Amino acid sequence: MHITVFIADDHPLIRDGLRSLLAAHANIRIVGTAGNGREAVREVQRLRPDVVLMDITMPELNGIEATRQLAERCPSVKVIILSVHATVEHYYQAARAGARGYLLKESAAEEVAAAIRAAHVGKRFVSARIAECLQTKLDAGSPIDSLSRREREILQLVAEGHPSAEIATLISISPKSVDTYRCRLMQKLGLRGLCDMVKFAIRHGLTSTE
């Protein structure tokens, strides 16, 4: 029986590379790909793969938020985070969002395949290089936990440089509501302006410097 896999990454070369690497495994079949988090959530709901390989830093909706939405809407789908970040904060957020695995992008093909097979049967899988140091910090807590899903979504979009009118269109609320959320975010997190919001979003894995 095949394990069906969906790949979400904003870099075409990485998507193609993963597809090629996994083609060597007869029991793994790639059923779709996406270049951003919103597209990934939409396509995974449609295709219902067994496992999703999810990049963290994607435009519009990051991989952590996409994972959280899939955990709510498609609980049978297992998500494995693929990341360049070997930090406590990123792993913490991935695990809290519902990810079943966390792999560094430098992982060998055999480790990726092993993670897919483990997630498929409900087991957790973490890259060997970071498992020990990250596991001890899993319950540490994070300021991100104080934010609602909408607040996290808007924080990412603001940090990516989207103006209020564009954000309003993307998430179907009014520009005034977007501005209200921005003010609330700065008050809640103790941030002074856009520069602080961008730094906070990068530090806590909501977006990247790319």
Q: Are residues 101 and 171 in the same domain?
A: no
Q: Are residues 9 and 91 in the same domain?
A: yes
Count of domains in the chain?
2
pLDDT score, position 6: 98
pLDDT score, position 110: 86
Q: Which domain holds residue 175?
A: 143-203
Q: Are residues 110 and 148 in the same domain?
A: no
pTM flag (> 0.85): no
Here the CATH number for the domain that contains residue 189 is: 1.10.10.10
Here the CATH number for the domain that contains residue 112 is: 3.40.50.2300
Question: Which residues have C-beta within 8 Å of that of residue 87, sequence separation ≥ 6?
Answer: 205
Mean predicted confidence (pLDDT) in 100-122: 91
Average pLDDT, the chain: 88
**In this structure, what token pair is assigned to residue 198?**
């961008």
The answer to whether 105 and 82 are in contact (CB under 8 A) is yes
Domain membership of residue 210 (yes or no) is no
pLDDT score, position 136: 55
CA angle (16 as vertex; 25, 30 as ends), nearest 5: 45
Lowest-confidence range among 18-32, 50-64, 135-149, 193-207?
A: 135-149
Q: Are residues 157 and 175 in the same domain?
A: yes
pLDDT score, position 144: 79
Query: Does the structure show a pLDDT above 70 at 134?
Result: no
More confident residue, 105 or 48: 48
- Phi/psi of residue 43, nearest 5 degrees: -75, -35
What whole-number distance in Å separates Cα of residue 179 and Cα of residue 165?
10
Token pair 């921005």 is found at 182
pLDDT score, position 146: 81
Query: Does the structure show a pLDDT above 70 at 135?
Result: no
Query: Does the structure show a pLDDT above 90 at 210?
Result: no
What whole-number distance in Å separates Cα of residue 111 and Cα of residue 209?
27
